[in-house]
Amino acid sequence: MKTYRLSPPARRSAIVLLIGALMVWVFALWTLRISVATSSDPSAGFVQALRENLERGMTIGQIIPALLMVVLLVAAPLVAWNILEELGAQYTLTDAGLRFTSFGVALTCPWSSVVGVRRRDDDADEPLDEVALSDDPSSQIRNPLVRWLHRQACGARCLIIYSGVEDRDDLLREICAHAGLNDAQPALSGV
């Protein structure tokens, strides 16, 4: 059984992206605090300053940045999770099926459930393929939060084959061979 992982350059890139996502989150948190909790009293705490702003009414110059920062505060952790899942991604071909593991995720997709392999975005700079499945393997994830996050990253009935995986083309060919798929599919042309 061969295990396929991200290449060292792809892991380094993922780590840099993860640091960037965390920096965006910290920036959003700091900017939100400045936007909604400024007070004429420099010794006022966050809650007191927020209360003062709400009582006197917030200006449009406070509301718009605050809303943008709230969006970033929600989106940055989701992006960070997607990067973490990619960073820890491992694919193992077994007799039972394709095994995918990452941080908090351990899935086995039986070969009978693999219905195709397709390119996710033909216009992307780096190829990102997905294994289409007939059922949702995320039900194998016990933690409901991790299950939800995985579904947000991959979708319910597919498994992403990340572009930075070493010997990716070999992995895609092996998946097609084990699942009995015709590897002349459009997504695999040139593989």
Give the number of domains in the chain.
2
Asked if residue 106 and residue 68 are part of one domain, the reply reads no
* pTM exceeds 0.85, yes or no: no
Of the residues 69, 86, 103, which one is the last residue of a structural domain? 86
Q: Cα–Cα distance between 70 and 149 in angstroms, integer? A: 19
What is the pLDDT confidence band of residue 41, given thresholds at 50, 70 and 90?
low
Q: In whole angstroms, how far apart are CA 46 and each of 53, 60, 103?
A: 11, 20, 35
- pLDDT at position 60 over 90: no
What is the pLDDT confidence band of residue 87, given thresholds at 50, 70 and 90?
very high
* In contact, 116 and 132? CB cutoff 8 Å: yes
Asked if residue 61 and residue 22 are part of one domain, the reply reads yes
Asked if residue 180 and residue 147 are part of one domain, the reply reads yes
Asked if residue 38 and residue 95 are part of one domain, the reply reads no
Residue-wise pLDDT tens digits, 118-171: 887 767 677 788 999 999 999 999 999 999 999 998 988 999 999 999 999 999
Q: How confident is the model at residue 59, as a pLDDT?
A: 80
Q: How confident is the model at residue 188, as a pLDDT?
A: 44
- pLDDT at position 183 over 70: no
Q: Which domain holds residue 55?
A: 3-86
| Torsion sign across C-alpha atoms 73, 10, 95, 101 | negative
Asked if residue 112 and residue 147 are part of one domain, the reply reads yes
Q: How confident is the model at residue 184, as a pLDDT?
A: 41
Of the residues 86, 107, 128, which one is the last residue of a structural domain? 86
Q: Cα–Cα distance between 15 and 23 in angstroms, integer? A: 12
Q: Cα–Cα distance between 172 and 161 in angstroms, integer? A: 8
